[in-house]
Amino acid sequence: MSRWDQIFNSIIPEPKARPFWERSLYCLGTVFLYGWKLLRLPVGYLPRPLQGIVKNWTPEMFHVVIGSWVTRAYIDQPCRFEGLPNNVLPPSKVPARHALSPEQIEAFVRDGFLGPLTACSKEEAAALAASLAKKRTLPSENFGFVTDRDLHLETPEMLELMRSPAILDAAAQLLGPDLMTWRSQLFFKLSGGREIQWHQASTYIVEDYLEPALVPPNRHRLFQLTVWIALTPSTLDNGCLEFIPGTHQEIRTIHFGGEQGFYKVSFELEYKVDPAKVIKMPMEPGQFVIFSERVIHGSGPNQTDNPRLAMNFRVIPPYVRVYPESNFHRAMHMGQAYSLEKWGTVMLRGSDEYGLNRRAQTPVIQ
């Protein structure tokens, strides 16, 4: 990334409450960029980070930011849920022990999540938890700094679990037979660890408000699944995952500020939660849940003396482009920026007829 682009990248504001004068400047800038988009002026004249806004923000995204004088925004590129892809694998094509029942598939379409199911034994989960606990304290071989992101690219036993047939056969019945992963993350919530507030995502433009990490052919069809695996017991007291069923139908707005904060940024989802509708999902080590990242989800604080250790990974069909034309990805909520030089997707199941995405070159996974 050029120095010039870096400067523009750094002035894109992370979500938080701001004084009126600052919001006014950002509002004027946003009006300017929306005008550029409406007049269809060539984006090539703009610095690269600003090109991202003009190209990737939808009119609704501009309206909310400008109309609220930069106090609100969409949490991600707006979309509605139009159902599963056409090529999902029928249950008869996977071993009977991994076949989802019609009720399970219907529940996923209705609620946006499915689980818990079982991927591996408690002992296997505990062994992986122990090795990842060490690994996450060292600088990542791919990114060069300590991070919970994408450690599957350098941890064969993590990738082995991600390739477990129980997980991939279930995912294939919701997303189709050909599956790759583009990202993983550890969620190690230590004793006293904070809640993760309600959130949702779709193409992950929420991470830098410039470039979506994922570009599917149709944003409204399901094009990604999150698989979240418990590596230690995940309980009501230590902050198990929580979902609000049916909320994957649309992407909501946020307002900046708020008490809780979302990792290192500060916003609150504009959704009035009815506690009676919240589904809490305790899990045993080795169990997993599959969900659409669009369903509103979060987790409570860890009020126990033991850590709640978990990992997730994101699954896509190979027709979804990942980080197109980027060699750098900034996640403002993590306060981290990742060079994509050594990053790549990893095929998990089936084949890739499209060849749209770079494959990881890490020797460990060849």
Residues in touch with ligand AKG (CB under 6 A): 187, 196, 226, 228, 241, 297, 299, 310, 312
The two tokens of residue 353 are: 């007829």
Residue 356 Cβ vs ligand AKG, minimum distance, rounded to whole Å: 24
Nearer to ligand AKG, 23 or 199 (CB): 199
Nearer to ligand AKG, 9 or 184 (CB): 184
Cis peptide before 318 (omega within 30 of 0): no
Nearer to ligand AKG, 165 or 301 (CB): 301
Residue 316 Cβ vs ligand AKG, minimum distance, rounded to whole Å: 15
Residue 308 Cβ vs ligand AKG, minimum distance, rounded to whole Å: 8
Total Cβ atoms within 10 A of residue 362: 20
Nearer to ligand AKG, 91 or 300 (CB): 300
Q: Under 8 Å CB-to-CB from 310, ≥6 apart: which residues? A: 186, 187, 188, 189, 228, 229, 230, 231, 232, 234
First and final C-alpha spacing in the chain: 29
Residue 300 Cβ vs ligand AKG, minimum distance, rounded to whole Å: 9
Nearer to ligand AKG, 297 or 321 (CB): 297
Residue 68 Cβ vs ligand AKG, minimum distance, rounded to whole Å: 25
Candidates 298, 322, 198, 216; CA nearest to 252 is 198
What distance in Å separates the CA atoms of residue 342 and residue 142, rounded to the nearest whole number?
6
Residue 241 Cβ vs ligand AKG, minimum distance, rounded to whole Å: 6
Contact yes or no for 92/177 (Cβ under 8 A):
no
Nearer to ligand AKG, 75 or 89 (CB): 75
Residue 136 identity (one-letter amino acid): R
The two tokens of residue 254 are: 């946020």
